[in-house]
Amino acid sequence: MSANPIPAQSIDRAHVPKPGMSRTQKLLFFVTAWLICLMPFLFWWNTWFGRKLSDQQLTEYLHDAKKPRHIQQALVQVGERITRREPAAQRWYPDLVRLSADPVEEVRNTDAWVMGQDTTGTGFHDALLKMLNDPSPMVRGNAALSLVRFGDASGRPQIVSLLQPAHIESPESGRIIDSDRPGTAIHQGGLIAKLEYGQAQTAEIRSPIPGRIRSVAGTGANIASGAEIAVVDPSTEQVWEALRALYLIGQPDDLPAVRAYERDLPDISNDVRQQAIETEKAIQARENR
């Protein structure tokens, strides 16, 4: 009598050996895992401003028009050398003056801050005065703050404006198809809302300053051209720097803007509130002399 064959499904699959990875598969797996770990490091390495640059790299980065972040990185490190009073930093001063007219806003913004680190820099004062008319409110503000270091109060109106919220108007008539929430912290250039207009065209509404969204038109709202879409309150850091500058050059006309930060409100830090109080005292003391 012949034995019945064992059904295939009754075989204990636990005892069936599984095919292992080939050497090529193992190599590909290792290389893929290595690249996954390497890519974030390379991104960080290329964007981290703290990575020290050599003199040659500083010169190259300051002229790298294709990579504005390279220019910013070099500017920050030139600024650090200036604050350490390194005489060699003066070799890049002509580049700082040149970059005051760079087409990239972030470059001009950083440059305005760096030039304020040395009040003896040839051409710095004149360049900063021209930057008071920059189309960017942040560049104008940084230039005005740097001019205070020169003992120049020409930028006082721009400094007072740093205490004011940004009122953002619609560039076209259309409908809001997406928007952020009030109370959200936002950086300069951060996306606040998207506006649909014309033949299914879309405009991105971005914040001209760092800060916090006070109000914004909700999704689905119809907006006329020139109407207010959002209001952004300035960041704590921006307000604090402006109050410190007005402590030195503020006038009685500036007091309403200063007093707005003396209020005991959750969104006003104790440091800012105290600086506002001290700034008002300094302004009044100058007025009573």
Could you tell me if 258 and 279 are in contact, meaning their C-beta atoms sit under 8 angstroms apart? yes
Least confident stretch, 45-59, 107-121, 168-182: 45-59
Tokens of 252: 């009685």
How many Å apart are CA 148 and CA 142, to the nearest integer?
A: 10
pTM of the complete model: 0.79
Would you say residue 156 has pLDDT above 80?
yes
Residue 175 forms beta bridges with which residues? Answer: 196, 222
CA 267: distance to chain centroid?
20
| Full set of structural domains in the chain with CATH | 44-161 (1.25.10.10), 166-234 (2.40.50.100), 238-289 (no CATH)
Would you say residue 132 has pLDDT above 50?
yes
Q: Which amino acid is at 268?
A: I
Could you tell me if 226 and 203 are in contact, meaning their C-beta atoms sit under 8 angstroms apart? no
pLDDT for 226: 96
3-state secondary structure of 235: coil
How many Å apart are CA 254 and CA 232, to the nearest integer?
A: 20
CA torsion through residues 81, 84, 271, 273, sign? negative
Percent of the chain with pLDDT over 70: 82
